[in-house]
Amino acid sequence: MTIPDALAELSTLLGDRLSRSKSDLDLHGRSETHFAPTPPDAVAYPETTEEVQALARICARHGCPMVGWGAGTSLEGHGLAVRGGVVVDFARMNAVLEVNASDMDCRVQPGITREALNTELRATGLFFPVDPGANASLGGMAATRASGTTAVRYGTMRDNVLGMKVVLADGRVIRTGSRARKSSAGYDLTGLMVGSEGTLGLVTELTLRLYGQPEAISSAICAFPDMGSAVDAVIATIQMCVPMARIEFVDQATVEVFNAAAGADLPAAPHLMVEFHGSDASVAEDARRFGEIAGEFGATGFRWATLAEERNKLWKMRHDAYWSILQSRPGATAIVTDICVPLSKLAEAVEETRADIAGSFIPGPILGHVGDGNFHAILMARRDSAEEMDEAKRLSGRLADRALRLGGTVTGEHGIGMGKLGYMEREHGAGWSVMGDIKRALDPQDLMNPGKLVPPA
Amino acid sequence: MTIPDALAELSTLLGDRLSRSKSDLDLHGRSETHFAPTPPDAVAYPETTEEVQALARICARHGCPMVGWGAGTSLEGHGLAVRGGVVVDFARMNAVLEVNASDMDCRVQPGITREALNTELRATGLFFPVDPGANASLGGMAATRASGTTAVRYGTMRDNVLGMKVVLADGRVIRTGSRARKSSAGYDLTGLMVGSEGTLGLVTELTLRLYGQPEAISSAICAFPDMGSAVDAVIATIQMCVPMARIEFVDQATVEVFNAAAGADLPAAPHLMVEFHGSDASVAEDARRFGEIAGEFGATGFRWATLAEERNKLWKMRHDAYWSILQSRPGATAIVTDICVPLSKLAEAVEETRADIAGSFIPGPILGHVGDGNFHAILMARRDSAEEMDEAKRLSGRLADRALRLGGTVTGEHGIGMGKLGYMEREHGAGWSVMGDIKRALDPQDLMNPGKLVPPA
Ligand SMILES: Cc1cc2nc3c(=O)[nH]c(=O)nc-3n(C[C@H](O)[C@H](O)[C@H](O)COP(=O)(O)OP(=O)(O)OC[C@H]3O[C@@H](n4cnc5c(N)ncnc54)[C@H](O)[C@@H]3O)c2cc1C
Ligand SMILES: Cc1cc2nc3c(=O)[nH]c(=O)nc-3n(C[C@H](O)[C@H](O)[C@H](O)COP(=O)(O)OP(=O)(O)OC[C@H]3O[C@@H](n4cnc5c(N)ncnc54)[C@H](O)[C@@H]3O)c2cc1C
């Protein structure tokens, strides 16, 4: 009953789709942020639910950890096999299985990326809106309860996953949810699995809610005299129920990176980036109302993008922000914070964070999905400087404290992985022990992504 | 370690707020539908979370079942103490604790009813939209994952509970969720508790999402030549994204009851009842678009209600439908079905159901929240006729089969209780056993509303 025994059987099951090549192990042992590389013992590339089930049974028999893997873009070391074992990469399970245009839903395999899904949907007139910037997989997005720029309008993965097929630690396969729009038939297992970060099971299918592609889309970026005005403009916009499809804040440091990395020529000031979806008339009206509100808070230099090409350029700049910011400080690694607070506390949270970082010796551009009360500071520390790493962690801890003090959460969308484990007790109190109870009930051997999310056994 | 031992201690804890009067036991031993009366051993009226916690600890020590009680309007025998023990009635915990107007949320105790809550909110310009017709308690609504006429616009309790305080079977008190609009901080315990029907814990506080009271509201009722046209009009309306606040179907049998019971003079035909929320302009435009679509399916005899008084009369008639229907057949009890299917299958589901009931010897008016794909047949059987009760159960079983065959659920909003237990295995397969695992993890002694929702131990 050892990991090598499991790998021998898995190799019989999967043939050369069980990889032990160094490059594969290294690729699946790295994380996007500051966590130390941790290569697994093997990488599996299953092609069917049945194979995942067989894999889970083998791993259960031999006590071998199983860690799901989508696109590897998560930011808290979610996918690192910290107790060894096998990483289950869903790259070969990336098909769209069914699109129901009249019910506006679809069934997909977990390995498909959001960009590939939307490319496949293009001709149907429908789209899947959740957009974490990175070209993440739908399985990974469900596992982290991802959201992103469009959550203010379309919700998060919590709202947009209707059902799943999941392989549990003991090899049971369950189907959660249904294609009905609502149900009261027992515990919400879909909701339990969304955000469980692969610690309760491996997702092999997802049923997703789709939306009609908007007739008209219009985007804009505009500058504000200071951070406070930009944030206040957001709060006013949301409170006046202007139906924003996106409303993103980027601080001056981020804008300077845009100018340097993406060849933009924006004034060195905090900006909002916005988007409207609807009919030609409604988009025009929403834009007008937003312009009016933003104007009251001193917005200037509006640049509108209505052509797809211009819009794509704008949002590519935003989506690449994380990488561009990292590149702006060679040798640095990122500690990404992700707090989310009630809207009425947003100005306070952002302002305190700005002051905190200004008083520190490491840089931390601030940007985020402010329509939800969610923002990030990308704290950049040199990996080889213990002093800088400590300082980044201190700032990150202060952000977490701030979020909790203001009635919010330490992670609006990135999840716990290992990076936020230390805050779980404070955020959830006894609730965290309940998460541990649930974990033990479904995975008593602690084989599904061990070392993440729940209290250490 | 017996129930009497528990009651002795509870009586010390609560004084005369532990009631053993026959009338109280009878009142808390009845259900709205066909289940046999089952009085508990006692009824507790706690006033604080701390009291509920002390109660749970006493019950845990003595192996005494605890069953939550809100307004007692649930339809599947949810609140019956089938293994005896204490019913915990939240009538004295009915305060609004906090309203955050700028974040559009509030914190309430579970015993407050939705009507009382909305009365308290009136002056704030906000309202809580979930509307199960009956004047249910917020705790009961969360426990059953209720929805109702407005879910098509505002979602169900799943979408509108942001957090909870819950007392678990072992006396642990947890706070789930936060006031942030989204979070990825671990398992969604709020989502797990919503719809758990009191089998995982007693809810002592809820944080709810609120909405701005619409500037303008307009309601209407109109007739259709037949059921198929009415249902097709609904499907077209939803698919064309007309933002309906309510869209309800009532069949001819229901309309005849309206005429008899509420003094209406509607033509004997299937009808749709609709409502629009928004600005004066948007309501007018939405109404125009709906009128156009409905017209294409043969709608006639539109009656509009824009004054509050007229609207209230219209919706009171709808909300009283269940009781009026029951009264139309003296001596009968109701077996209420509640299937929900994908919209594209709605016409088929309704049509087959109609034919089934037409071929039966018991009456069953059909009505429902068709914008969600959810509808009810109120099957009326004489309680003293085994033949009629069997026939009603047969029809109900066929409805459940139909829902599952069409990709839907056996209960869109009422929940499982005891009445739908027999369908859980078929709807969820191995998923039902997972619900049992979760139940055992949080309530190993099976004290929280035993005999409901999960597989029998
Ligand atoms: C530049 C950049 C910007 C980002 N912006 C956002 C943002 O705006 N919003 C946001 O929410 N996130 C954002 N992220 C984080 C990341 O994109 C999300 O966390 C995303 O959901 C991860 O998906 P993935 O496919 O890369 O998952 P992975 O990193 O591969 O895995 C994430 C977790 O999911 C588990 N998992 C993966 N697939 C499965 C499966 N099939 N079954 C069970 N478990 C599985 C893994 O074990 C792991 O625990 C950003 C990341 C980057 C690099
Ligand atoms: C005429 C009529 C129309 C209806 N229409 C609808 C409709 O359109 N949509 C809909 O969804 N439902 C409808 N219902 C059903 C009913 O109103 C809902 O199920 C409602 O949510 C029940 O709330 P309650 O307060 O009456 O709960 P109760 O009946 O008192 O309890 C329901 C369940 O919740 C548990 N519970 C109650 N309070 C707590 C608590 N604080 N903590 C833990 N568990 C608790 C109980 O143990 C029980 O299992 C209707 C009922 C009637 C009579």
Give me the phi and psi of B317, to 5 degrees please: -60, -45
Rounded average pLDDT over A18-34:
96
Alpha-carbon dihedral angle through residues B101, B102, B104, B107, given to the nearest 10 degrees:
-60
pLDDT computed for residue B379 by the predictor? 97
Strand-pairing partners, residue B161, are B208
C-alpha of residue A80 to centroid of ligand 1, in Å? 12
Angle, CA B421 vertex, CA B417 and CA B427 arms, to 5°: 120
Please report the pLDDT score of residue B306 as a whole number: 83
Provide the pLDDT for residue A14. 98
Pairing of strands A105-108, A126-127: unpaired
Average pLDDT over residues B77-89: 97
Q: Within a 10 A sphere around the Cβ of B446, how many other Cβ atoms? A: 18
CATH class of A216-316: alpha beta
Select from B145, B152, B158, B184 the residue whose CB has the most chain A CBs within 10 Å, as the one to mutate to test that interface: B184
| Ligand number nearest to the C-alpha of A91 | 1
Helix (H, G, I), strand (E, B) or coil at B288: helix
In the block, tokens 């804890």 appear at B13
| Residue A266 scores a pLDDT above 80 | yes
Ligand nearest to the CA of A378: 1
A147–B186 C-beta distance less than 8 A: no
Residue B1 has pLDDT above 80, yes or no: no
The answer, yes or no, to whether any atom of ligand 1 lies below 6 A from the CB of A414, is: yes
Chain B positions in Cβ-Cβ contact with residue A344 (cut-off 8 Å): 100, 102-103
Q: What are phi and psi of A306, to 5 degrees?
A: -105, -25
Nearest by Cα to B453 from A176, A188, A191? A188
**Per-residue pLDDT reduced to its tens digit, B390-426:** 999 999 999 999 999 999 999 999 999 999 999 999 9
Q: Do B175 and A429 touch (CB under 8 A)?
A: yes
Architecture of the A96-212 domain = 2-Layer Sandwich (3.30)
Q: For residues B149 and B219, what is the distance between their CA atoms, to the nearest angstrom?
A: 12
Give the domain ranges of chain A. Answer: 3-91, 96-212, 216-316, 329-416
Chain B neighbors of A159, CB-CB under 8 A: 159
Which class in CATH covers the domain with range B329-416? Answer: alpha beta
* Cβ neighbours for B165, distance < 8 A, ≥ 6 positions apart: B49, B173, B174, B175, B176, B203, B204, B205, B206
Provide, as residue numbers in chain A, all residues whose Cβ is less than 8 Å from the Cβ of B411: 183-185
B212 at interface of A, judged by CB pairs closer than 8 A: yes
Q: B74 and B28 in contact (C-beta within 8 Å)?
A: no
Q: What is the pLDDT of residues A297-318, one digit of tens each?
A: 999 999 999 899 999 999 999 9
Fold of B3-91: 3.30.43
CA separation (Å) from A349 to A364, A395, A404, B104? 15, 13, 11, 19
Residue A291's pLDDT band (cuts 50, 70, 90): very high
Ligand number nearest to the C-alpha of A71: 1
- Residue B278 is classified by DSSP as E
Tens-place pLDDT, residues B86-112: 999 999 999 999 999 989 999 999 999
pLDDT given for residue A52 in this prediction = 98
The answer to whether A144 and A74 have CB atoms below 8 angstroms apart is: yes
| Binding-face residues of A in 111-170 toward B, CB within 8 A | 144-147, 151, 156, 158-159, 168
Mutation to probe ligand 2, out of B35, B144, B378 (largest number of atoms < 8 A from CB): B144
Q: Is B365 in the pocket of ligand 2 (CB under 6 A)?
A: no
pLDDT digits (tens, 9 = 90+) for B371-392: 999 999 999 999 999 999 999 9
Please give the pLDDT value at position A82: 97
Mean pLDDT across chain A, nearest whole number? 96
Helix (H) or strand (E) holding B23: helix B22-27
The predicted-structure confidence for B308-354, as pLDDT tens digits, reads as follows 999 999 999 999 999 999 999 999 999 999 999 999 999 999 999 99
Residues 6+ apart with CB under 8 A from A128: A106, A114, A117, A118, A121, A138, A160, A208, A210, A211
pLDDT tens track for A132-160:
999 999 999 999 999 999 999 999 999 99
Nearest CA in chain A to B408: A180
Contact yes or no for A172/A218 (Cβ under 8 A): no
* E strands in A157-281: 161-168, 173-177, 201-209, 211-212, 216-223, 246-250, 271-278
Tell whether B431 is within 8 A of chain A (Cβ): yes
Does B329-416 match B3-91 at the fold level? no
**Distance between CA A29 and CA A10 in Å, rounded?**
19
Q: For residues B293 and B232, what is the distance between their CA atoms, to the nearest angstrom?
A: 10
Identify the closest residue of chain A to B400 by CA–CA distance.
A185
Q: Is the pLDDT of residue A407 over 80?
A: yes
Cα(B237)–Cα(B274) distance, integer angstroms: 11
Percent of chain B residues past pLDDT 90, beyond the cut? 95
Closest residue to B174, CB basis, from A156, A431, A440: A431
CB contact under 8 A, B428 and A343: no
Query: Residue B457 has what pLDDT?
Result: 80
Residue B248 beta carbon below 6 angstroms from any ligand 2 atom: no
Rg (CA), chain A: 22
Chain A touched by B89 (CB under 8 Å): no
Whether B344 has its CB under 8 Å from any CB of chain A: the answer is yes
Q: How confident is the model at residue B262 (pLDDT cuts 50, 70, 90)?
A: confident
CB–CB contact A188 B192 (8 Å): yes
pLDDT band (50, 70, 90) for residue A457: confident
Residues of chain B found within 8 Å of residue A428, distances taken between Cβ atoms: 174-175, 185-186, 189
Among B179, B184, B423, select the one facing A195 at the smallest CB separation: B184
Residue A306 has a pLDDT of: 83
Question: Is B137 close to ligand 2, i.e. is its CB under 6 Å away?
Answer: yes
pLDDT of residue B222 exceeding 90, the answer is yes
Ligand 1 mean position, distance from CA B102 (Å): 32
Beta-carbon contacts of B192 under 8 Å, excluding residues fewer than 6 positions away, are A187, A188, A191, A192, A438, B200, B438
Which one-letter DSSP state was computed for residue A44?
A: E
User: Nearest ligand to the C-alpha of residue B78?
Assistant: 2
Asked if residues B185 and B437 have their Cβ atoms less than 8 Å apart, the reply is: no
pLDDT of residue B335: 95
Mean pLDDT of B56-82: 97
Q: Which chain A residues have a beta carbon less than 8 Å from that of B156?
A: 182
CB-based contact, B279 to chain A, within 8 Å:
no
**CB of A144 closer than 6 angstroms to any ligand 1 atom:** yes
Residue A376, phi then psi, degrees to nearest 5: -120, 145
Per-residue pLDDT for A241 more than 90? Answer: no
Whether this model's ipTM surpasses 0.95 comes out as yes
Residue-wise pLDDT for B10-61, tens only, equals: 999 999 999 999 999 999 999 989 999 999 999 999 999 999 999 999 999 9
Calculate how close chain A gets to B399, using CA atoms only, in Å.
15
Residue in chain A closest to B241 (alpha carbons) equals A212
Cβ-Cβ contacts under 8 Å, A341 against chain B: 179-180
H helix or E strand, kind and range, residue B248 = strand B246-250
Atom number of ligand 1 nearest to Cα A93? 41
pLDDT of residue A262: 84
Residues in A closer than 8 angstroms to B196, CB to CB, are: 187
pTM: 0.97
What distance in Å separates the CA atoms of residue A178 and residue B15, rounded to the nearest whole number?
47
Q: Chain B closest CA to A415's CA: distance in Å? A: 5
Q: Can you tell me which atom of ligand 1 is nearest the CA of A413?
A: 11
Please, what is the average pLDDT of chain B? 96
pLDDT at B241: 86
- pLDDT of B267 reads 96
Q: Chain A within 8 Å of B185 (Cβ-Cβ)?
A: yes
Cβ–Cβ < 8 Å for B409, A163: no
- B299-310 pLDDT, tens per residue? 999 999 989 999
**Which listed ligand is nearest to B375 at the C-alpha?**
2
DSSP string for B300-328:
EEEEEE-SHHHHHHHHHHHHTHHHHHHHT
